[in-house]
Every structure is written in structure tokens, then in C-alpha cells.
Amino acid sequence: MLCKKLSHGAYRCKSAKETTEFYTQVLGLKLSHVMGADRVPSTQEFDPHIHIFFEMEDGSCIAFFEAPLSPGGIRDTGMRDWIQHFAFEVADVETVMAAKARLESLGLDVIGPTDHEGFFLSIYFHDPSGHRLELVAHTATQEMKEIAHREAPTLLERWSQHGSWAGNPPNSH
């Protein structure tokens, strides 16, 4: 397989400092790398920025750019909030529930827990820039994962043909 693991996903943030405080103090991630320049390395376009990376237990990272002169907003506000998000895996359902209590005690609005067809249980909340975050505990059995893997191409084809699940939802085996 060409792709071995996720290196990082990057979003824009309002404030590198506020984002760092949230991801290190609230979620416990490690600030692993900071870089920045007045020019974009790949294009040499003038656009001063700072690029901050937060590392998870498996070595993968989430990263953010603070780019105050760059056009556009922090996120696409025309898109529905639930679509674009980061989902972080946690150890188990108990960890999800403990995180929910802690996040709420910090004054964050938390949605959930939500059971996703027995595959995982999750909660949702937002970071200081308004990015939606999800904490996930996987709950599927190995048999459920194998069935899902076998059914995935058929479900994709059904969606591609109809663009809707009307009358034929994906979990109606």
C-alpha cells in the first residue's frame, strides 16, 4: 500500500496561541513542531504564516495554519457544520463518557453520545476556531467489520446510482 499512515491533516485557525492551549490543555496532545515563513514553501507566494503540529499517541498529527493576511475564512460556513470535522479515536466508551463530563465542566457544548450503528460511539464539540471535533470509541466486532468491508462496494454503487438512501438505507441488510 502506498500510504502507510496519516502524517497530518491541516486546517486554518484564528489564533495559534489559543489553538495550542486548547489542543494541549483540553485534549492533551503534544505540541510537536512549529514552523513558519513569510512565503509559502511550495509556491513562494508572499503569505506570512505559522504552521503548528500536535502529535497523537500513534505519531500522527493534526496541524493548523494561522495566516492573518490570507483571504477566506477559518472554515467554510456555507457547508453544514457536521460535515467537516476531525475524529480522534480514544481507548473505549468509558473514556468517551469521561471526556464528555470533563469537556462540559470546562464550559464546552457537547453533543452525544451518539451510537453509529454499533460501529462506534462518539461525542462532538468545537475548538476555539469553530472546527467540529469528535471523540470516537470503536465498538464493532470483527464480524461486523468484515461484513462492512464486503458490503462497502455495493453500498457505494447504490449511492452512486441514486444519490439517496430513500427507501433503501445502507444498514437494511
The burial of 78, by beta-carbon neighbours within 10 Å (0-12 exposed, 13-18 middle, 19 or more buried), is given as exposed
Task: Quote the mean pLDDT of the chain.
Answer: 92
* Coil, helix or strand at residue 155: helix
pLDDT over 70, % of the chain:
97
Going along the chain from its start, the domains and CATH numbers come out as 1-69 (3.10.180.10)
pLDDT, tens digit (0-9, with 9 covering 90-100), for 44-103: 999 999 999 999 999 999 999 999 999 988 888 888 888 889 999 999 999 999 999 999
Q: How many CB atoms lie within 10 A of CB 52?
A: 23
Q: What is the pTM of this model?
A: 0.88
Evaluate if residue 173 carries a pLDDT over 50.
no
- The pLDDT tens digits of the residues spanning 149-171 come to 999 998 888 888 888 887 676 76
Phi and psi at 90, nearest 5°, equal -120, 175
If pLDDT is split at 50, 70 and 90, which confidence band does 107 have? very high
Segment holding 121, helix H or strand E: strand 120-126
Banded pLDDT at 172 (limits 50, 70, 90): very low
Averaged pLDDT, 25-31: 97
Is 140 a residue whose pLDDT tops 70? yes
Residue 8: in which H helix or E strand, if any? strand 8-12
